[in-house]
Amino acid sequence: MDCEKVALFFKGMSDPTRLRILMAMINGEKTVKEISEETGISSSLVSCHLTKLKNSKLIKTKKEGIYLKCSIADEYVLKILKLTQEYLSDCEANE
């Protein structure tokens, strides 16, 4: 296993703002504007974090006309996010 790649992957999830952006895409693809409106994060900051998420291989993007459509990279990333949500919910319930 390439530990550098693993570290980069998890570094992408290590920022609360990036996690909010990822969670905004958990149910499907969104534009930068939609992510901004849903999270309350400025479009310019969303764009900056999307670059980091893409570099970490957590999201994929595609251009549709003037819009940039963003989505979770694949089912593995989606599973990690959902399992993390489930794990934290269970931890809170058992406190």
User: Could you read off the pLDDT of 23-71 as tens digits, one per residue?
Assistant: 999 999 999 999 999 999 999 999 999 999 999 999 999 999 999 999 9
Tokens found for residue 75? 């089912």
Tokens found for residue 14? 């290590």
Confidence of residue 8 (pLDDT cuts 50, 70, 90): confident
Q: Which residues pair with 20 in a beta bridge?
A: none
pTM: predicted TM-score of the whole model, two decimal places:
0.87
Domain ranges of the chain: 3-93
* Backbone dihedral angles phi then psi of residue 20, each to the nearest 5 degrees: -60, -40
Among the CATH numbers 3.40.50.10860, 2.40.50.140, 1.10.10.10, 3.30.470.20, which is that of 3-93? 1.10.10.10
Q: Residue 54 has what pLDDT? A: 94
User: Amino acid identity, residue 39?
Assistant: T
Tokens found for residue 89? 């919910």
